A and B are shown apart, each in its own frame.
Chain A
Amino acid sequence: MTNAVKKGRKKSRGIVRRSAKTIFAFFYGMPIVWIILTSFKQETDVFSTQSSLFFSPTLSTYRKLLTSSLFESFTNSIIIATCATVITLLVSIPAGYALARFSNKTLGIGLTALIIFQMIPQTATIIPLFQIFNKLGMLDTLPSVILADAALLTPFAILLMRPFFRSIPVALVEASQIDGASSWQSFSKISLPLARNGIATTATLIWIISWGEFLYAVNLILSPNSYPMSAILAQQVGGFGIFWPGLMALSVLASLPVAILFIFTYRLLREGLTLGAVK
């Protein structure tokens, strides 16, 4: 093959690649740009300046939104996401550690059960959960949502962390035990620090997912006054005559914590997801 042909191929490959990248950039960039733009528009401007990048921006929507009740639902979201993350981690870290070391039939059954729990639609689990929390008198409380989220995410967390514990050499753990460390010591002093990337990845993802979760929230919490952000969004977008600048400004506020977290953890997430998702 001549160099000219090679060069030609390289060039055409570059063009194809660049146009594909442009298309992806458009379809993923445009929605974000429009969320932000619309949140700064007057309601009357929303549709008259729909396709235009130029309009007179206003902060009035944000000013109207930023009330004490919004602050309350923001706090509820933080409480739900943080408590669900803590409970899930407390339960799944030791389980992920143990399942990484087992090697027998029980393991197969355990893993399969976890995968089954992980895959059952949330729209299915909310039906009995509603009944159970109703019977326990826990409806309309944050703990019901926190516990439901923890149960939803525990199988996912265990499965995501297991490969990190598996990648720790068995010899290391055994050496510590020969040196007289108890099982708990070798877990907490050797394995836990070595699996910290996996734990951090898992914690981030659980926090992000429970931050955005809304199906459990809108059904287990009965009074919209105690809704988290995600449930407020779900309620607003479902109504008639949507106030778009308001909805988009809410979307921006609900996305900010995710954005901040994402900036600090993307590298970790990238490694963690590729290790945990497919294994």
Chain B
Amino acid sequence: MTLLSTKSSIDAIRSAQRKGGHLLYVVPAVFLLTLLSAFPLFQLARMSFSDVGIKNITGVWTNVGFANFKAIASDPDFKQILINTLVFVGIVTFLGLILGFVAATAFNDAKKSSDFLLAFMVFIWALPPIVNGSVWKFLLGGDGLINVLLQKVSLISEPIPFLYDPKMALYSVAMVNCWAVIPFNALILKAAFKSVSKDVLEASEIDGVTPLQQIRYVYFPSSRPTLLVLAILTLVYGFRSFDFIYVMTYGGPGLATNTLPFLGYIKAFVLFDFSKGAAIALLSAIFTSGLALLYSRSVRKEEQND
């Protein structure tokens, strides 16, 4: 084969591929996702504009327009739920990132102990959330280890109602969520630190920067793209999170630990008001879709830089 014909056959292959030579490969995924992701979303939207309870969930739905949304918005508790969501997601994202960065920095030496500790933390991240939630419910209980230890060292005389006090419960569950996401963030950030060039590090050491300055002026800027992506991922993780709420407080006491997505679940599966549950779920889905667009833009930017 001559060079020319090789080139033209490459061109032929390339253009065939661009024209959709690979289209067949995506058919199974498109089929599955249309049936079990896109269609359910459509049903969710339809449900949120109808009146659906446990009796007519498989029957006929009557259209009620925006009635469900209006009812939700005029519910006096709704504002509280939005504030809960904001506080919860804020704590998980902010502390999850900062402490993930701290952990990645602490583990950023060539020691075996660091590798082992990080591996152990990632193992805990991989455990079923229900296991992690159960043990923290145990540890934070009135007779739990944390309260017993604090009483032993006489820091407190009465046990702290970590999960029973309406104000404290939200912070407690948010902190446990944070705890659960730190290992992942630390793992990713530690890998990002590896891309900092040895020359830059050596130069900064010769210039006599302090360790804190090195973090501030070398590690932080070089891991900024990673931090941005992690920030969106952690935000979404915090917003979607239901397992720890489910296990530790089930949204209580009262509505104290209900976030927006969790409230949708409670409305549908505890109060059997599927249409209001669907309306709240739809609002949650719209919110995450916005974040998804943001995320997809920043990832595509990264890819173009390759």
Contact B102 A20 (CB under 8 A): yes
Which residues does chain A contribute within 8 Å of B106, judged by CB atoms? 17, 20-21, 24
Which residues does chain A contribute within 8 Å of B281, judged by CB atoms? 121, 123-125, 127
Question: Using an 8 Å CB-CB cutoff, how does the interface string of B271-306 with A read, 1 for contact, 0 for none?
Answer: 000100110011011001101110110011011000
B191 at the interface (CB under 8 A from A): yes
Contact A111 B300 (CB under 8 A): yes
Separation of A155 and B236 alpha carbons in the complex (Å): 15
Q: Given A122-B242, A127-B47, are A117 and B37 neighbors across the interface (CB < 8 Å)?
A: yes
B97 at the interface (CB under 8 A from A): no
Separation of A110 and B292 alpha carbons in the complex (Å): 12
B225's closest neighbor in chain A, by CB? Answer: A278
B130 at the interface (CB under 8 A from A): yes
Tell me how many residue pairs across A and B have CB atoms closer than 8 Å: 295
Q: Given A123-B242, A237-B247, are A29 and B47 neighbors across the interface (CB < 8 Å)?
A: no
A52's closest neighbor in chain B, by CB? Answer: B148
Q: Chain B: interface residue count, which band?
A: 35 or more
Separation of A32 and B120 alpha carbons in the complex (Å): 10
174-229 of chain A: CB within 8 A of chain B: 174, 177-178, 183, 187, 208, 211-212, 214-215, 219
Contact A50 B285 (CB under 8 A): no
Contact A155 B289 (CB under 8 A): no
A264 at the interface (CB under 8 A from B): no
Contact A32 B124 (CB under 8 A): yes
B66 at the interface (CB under 8 A from A): no
Contact A174 B26 (CB under 8 A): no
Which residues does chain B contribute within 8 Å of A20, judged by CB atoms? 102-103, 105-106
B60 at the interface (CB under 8 A from A): no
Separation of A108 and B304 alpha carbons in the complex (Å): 12
101-155 of chain A: CB within 8 A of chain B: 101-104, 108, 110-113, 115-132, 134-135, 147-148, 150-151, 154-155
Interface-located stretch among B74-82, B111-119, B164-172:
B111-119
B273 to chain A, nearest CB (A): 11
Contact A215 B137 (CB under 8 A): no
Q: Identify the A interface with B (CB < 8 A).
A: 1, 5, 9, 13, 16-17, 20-21, 24-25, 27-32, 34-35, 38, 47, 50-51, 87, 90-92, 94-95, 97-99, 101-104, 108, 110-113, 115-132, 134-135, 147-148, 150-151, 154-155, 158, 174, 177-178, 183, 187, 208, 211-212, 214-215, 219, 230, 233-234, 237-238, 244, 247-248, 251, 254-255, 258-259, 262, 266, 269-270, 273-274, 277-279
Contact A28 B284 (CB under 8 A): no
Which residues does chain A contribute within 8 Å of B18, judged by CB atoms? 102-104
Contact A119 B236 (CB under 8 A): yes
Contact A94 B25 (CB under 8 A): yes
B158 at the interface (CB under 8 A from A): no
B216 to chain A, nearest CB (A): 14
Q: Given A131-B47, A278-B229, are A34 and B13 neighbors across the interface (CB < 8 Å)?
A: no
Contact A34 B145 (CB under 8 A): yes
Q: Is the interface of B mostly helix, strand, loop or mixed?
A: helix
Other than the given A27-B179, A127-B269, A279-B299, 6 more pairs (CB < 8 A) read A30-B145, A38-B138, A91-B32, A104-B18, A266-B119, A270-B191
B86 at the interface (CB under 8 A from A): no
Contact B148 A35 (CB under 8 A): no
Contact B135 A248 (CB under 8 A): yes
B188 at the interface (CB under 8 A from A): yes
B23 to chain A, nearest CB (A): 7
- The 8 Å CB contact of A117, one of B33, B119, B123, B262, is B33
Separation of A23 and B281 alpha carbons in the complex (Å): 38
Separation of A219 and B242 alpha carbons in the complex (Å): 14
Contact A110 B247 (CB under 8 A): no
B133's closest neighbor in chain A, by CB? Answer: A237
- The 8 Å CB contact of A50, one of B21, B38, B144, B293, is B144
A203 to chain B, nearest CB (A): 14
Q: Given A91-B28, A94-B28, A233-B134, are A28 and B120 neighbors across the interface (CB < 8 Å)?
A: yes
Contact A21 B113 (CB under 8 A): yes
B139 at the interface (CB under 8 A from A): yes
- The 8 Å CB contact of A121, one of B32, B122, B288, is B288
